[in-house]
Amino acid sequence: MARVDGRAVRAKEVDARLALKLYDLALAGYRLRASSLDTVIARRLRLNNDVPADLAHERVEILWAPPEAPRIEIPLMGSRIRGPENARVTLTEFIDFQAGPSRSLQPVLERVLEEYPDTVRLAVRDLALPFHRYAQKSAEAARCAGDQNAYWPYHEMLLMEQPGLESEDLRRYALRLDLEPAVFDRCLNEDKQAALVRADGSLAALLGISRAPSLFVNGRYLPPPFTYEGLVRAIEAETGDLRNSPVAAERKNGALEPSEQAGPKQRPGGNGLHDPQFDPESTEYREPADAVGSGEHLLPPLPEVPLDRLVEPEAVLDLARDAVDQALEERPRLEANLQTSPGVFSGRRLLKLTEIQPGDLYDRLGLRNNDVLMLVDDQWITDEANPLWDALQNQSEITLLVMRRGRPHRYRYRFR
């Protein structure tokens, strides 16, 4: 490509830091052509409408392959690792705790780690983007929590509580997890983890990684959008078990993405909240025309909240059993903080949280004032029956669904 003092500058050297960007460009071109190809194929199939639609796929043969995603070598040392040491597949995530997509990716990762406990491990590195004001300090706080063996619970807490990432928030989450406050504050105030966070950022720059989250499967770049189905296919391509994939039967013909991921309009994975058939704003309190003047406010009927699509929790929090039991001793006060919601949801009167106190049970669960409690382990929480208390007291793991500002949120809690 060039010479400097007679020495050749080769394309391989120039492209070393551009591999991901060049691939993204190639993938964008592939997607444009694939869309156009679909249109042409559909037009030709319509011209020959004498063949039944259910046999149309037999008439199409895709001869064009997508670009192959690059594989880069990412050192494991220095990353935070979750999963077995002998895992066949390592997922490497470059995370920014202030980035919304990092939060959206977390439920997908949780599901994969649960379904492949012996095969997959997760290695996390920081990529605190400079235009995110709280990203650097949040990453430092997570590492400070790690000094007290609480990196992963704190990691979950940060993602769950976005965008609450100011200094007082970071300290509040440490108290919620029963960390030693003086040790945590000293670590954070003295910037003890700052250099390590910046070192991860420097590594990302060296590898040509500029977007958070960025995800790699055994070093193979996985482009967004991140879905459970796409990640499973990438994992099982690495293990050679693609034919036995739980999603392999979904597609027998044609070529989509190199990661086999659905487009943004499909979104079969993730938490299901952004499905085009579900408008989260439609779950706001409202008064139907036939209820005006009746004195009773109605919430939308149950079918407007696709509970069956809320597969993965947005966060999985580990809480100390002793701390939860101690917090439950204040049950009378906690019950007093529950008010009957002003409306009826599918014939049920739900309960709304008020006056949450720092450090109380609701705060430890990451709940907020005006959250409406809906389901605990698929049981309704109403003014007539509240199974939340028994679940908290007697179970080692629960799943809680709440409505917050018109949007459903699902959380899982594990009590250790």
Per-residue H/E/C for the chain? CEEECCEEECHHHHHCCCHHHHHHHHHHHHHHHHHHHHHHHHHHHHHCCCCCHHHHHHHCCCCCCCCCCCECCCCCCCCEEECCCCCCEEEEEEECCCCHHHHHHHHHHHHHHHHCCCCEEEEEEECCCCCCCCHHHHHHHHHHHHCCCCHHHHHHHHHHCCCCCCHHHHHHHHHHCCCCHHHHHHHHHCCCCHHHHHHHHHHHHHHCCCCCCEEEECCEEECCCCCHHHHHHHHHHHHCCHHHCCCHHHCCCCCCCCCCCCCCCCCCCCCCCCCCCCCHHHHCCECCHHHCCCCCEECCCHHHCCHHHCCCCCEEEEECHHHHHHHHCCHHHHHHCEEECCEEECCECEEEECCCCCCCHHHHCCCCCCCEEEEECCEECECCCCCHHHHHHHCCEEEEEEEECCEEEEEEEEEC
Q: Are 297 and 342 in contact (CB under 8 A)?
A: yes
CA distance linking residue 297 with residue 278, whole number of Å: 22
Domain of 389, CATH number, reads 2.30.42.10
Residues 41 and 121 in one domain: no
User: 270 lies in a domain?
Assistant: no
Q: Would residue 293 be called left, alpha or beta, if left means φ above 0 and alpha means ψ between -120 and 50 degrees?
A: left
Residues 45 and 139 in one domain: no
Residues 239 and 114 in one domain: yes
User: 293 lies in a domain?
Assistant: no
Residues 5 and 87 in one domain: no
Residues 134 and 111 in one domain: yes
Q: What is the pLDDT of residue 135?
A: 95
CA distance linking residue 126 with residue 96, whole number of Å: 6
Last residue of a domain, one of 48, 68, 88: 68
Walking along the chain (416 residues) 10 residues at a time, the average pLDDT comes out as: 83 76 86 88 74 66 85 92 94 94 90 92 95 95 95 92 90 92 95 94 91 94 90 91 51 43 35 32 35 40 43 77 88 90 75 88 89 88 89 91 85 88
Q: What is the pLDDT of residue 54?
A: 61
Q: Whose CA is closest to 305, among 354, 351, 352, 271? A: 271
Last residue of a domain, one of 236, 252, 268: 252
Q: What is the pLDDT of residue 391?
A: 92
| pTM check: above 0.85 | no
CA distance linking residue 254 with residue 168, whole number of Å: 52
Cβ neighbours of residue 388 closer than 8 Å, sequence gap 6 or more = 373, 376, 381, 400
User: 322 lies in a domain?
Assistant: yes
Q: What is the pLDDT of residue 66?
A: 86
CA distance linking residue 380 with residue 374, whole number of Å: 6
Structure tokens at 259: 């990661």
User: 16 lies in a domain?
Assistant: yes
* DSSP bridge partners of 4: 7
CA distance linking residue 91 with residue 121, whole number of Å: 6
Instruction: Specify the pairing of strand 351-353 against strand 372-376.
Output: antiparallel
Domain of 158, CATH number, reads 3.40.30.10
CA distance linking residue 324 with residue 183, whole number of Å: 23
Residues 28 and 109 in one domain: no
Burial class (CB in 10 A: 0-12, 13-18, 19+), 158: buried
Residues 104 and 168 in one domain: yes
Residues 60 and 86 in one domain: no
User: 125 lies in a domain?
Assistant: yes
Place of tokens 């999963």: 83
User: 280 lies in a domain?
Assistant: no
Instruction: Specify the pairing of strand 2-4 against strand 7-9.
Output: antiparallel
Phi, psi for 214 (deg, rounded to 5): -120, 140
Query: Which range of residues forms the domain containing residue 21?
Result: 1-68
Residues 15 and 151 in one domain: no
Residues 327 and 238 in one domain: no
Q: Whose CA is closest to 91, among 100, 80, 99? A: 80
Q: What is the pLDDT of residue 404?
A: 86
Residues 101 and 185 in one domain: yes
Cα atoms in the 13 Å half-sphere on the side-chain side of 11: 2
What's the total number of domains in the chain?
A: 3
User: 294 lies in a domain?
Assistant: no
Q: What is the pLDDT of residue 56?
A: 65
User: 99 lies in a domain?
Assistant: yes
Residues 39 and 93 in one domain: no
Q: What is the pLDDT of residue 214?
A: 94
